[in-house]
Amino acid sequence: MVTVHFSAELRRFTDGVAQMEFEAPDVRRLIRALDERYPGMGERLSEGTSVAIDGNIIPDAEFEDLPDGAEVHFLDTLSGG
């Protein structure tokens, strides 16, 4: 199991739930599980989101393995101008 922490932006999909545990071997399958539970979240996570796994930010983490007990945060990618 991994613990997913939802940002304030993502909590609009979860009815305010801040964190939840999921069973997923990698980030791609985690996003799929999140989208099944919270329709629309998968598309949102695919739009400019980085992933932090146990405190390490991984920009292109789709196929990154998730160790059992990992803490996962989805981070909005910042853009400037």
Supply the CATH number for residue 66's domain. Answer: 3.10.20.30
Q: Is residue 23 part of a domain?
A: yes
Q: Is residue 81 part of a domain?
A: no
pLDDT digits (tens, 9 = 90+) for 62-71: 889 999 999 9
Total structural domains within the chain = 1
Instruction: Give CA separation, 75 vs 16, 39, 78, in Å.
Output: 17, 19, 9
Q: Is residue 41 part of a domain?
A: yes
Residue for token digits 């539970």? 37
Q: Is residue 49 part of a domain?
A: yes
Instruction: Give CA separation, 35 vs 46, 55, 56, in Å.
Output: 11, 23, 23
pTM exceeding the 0.85 threshold for the entire prediction: yes
CA 80 to chain centre: 23
Six-digit token string for 37: 């539970």
- 56: containing domain: 2-76
pLDDT digits (tens, 9 = 90+) for 35-71: 999 999 999 988 778 899 999 999 788 889 999 999 9
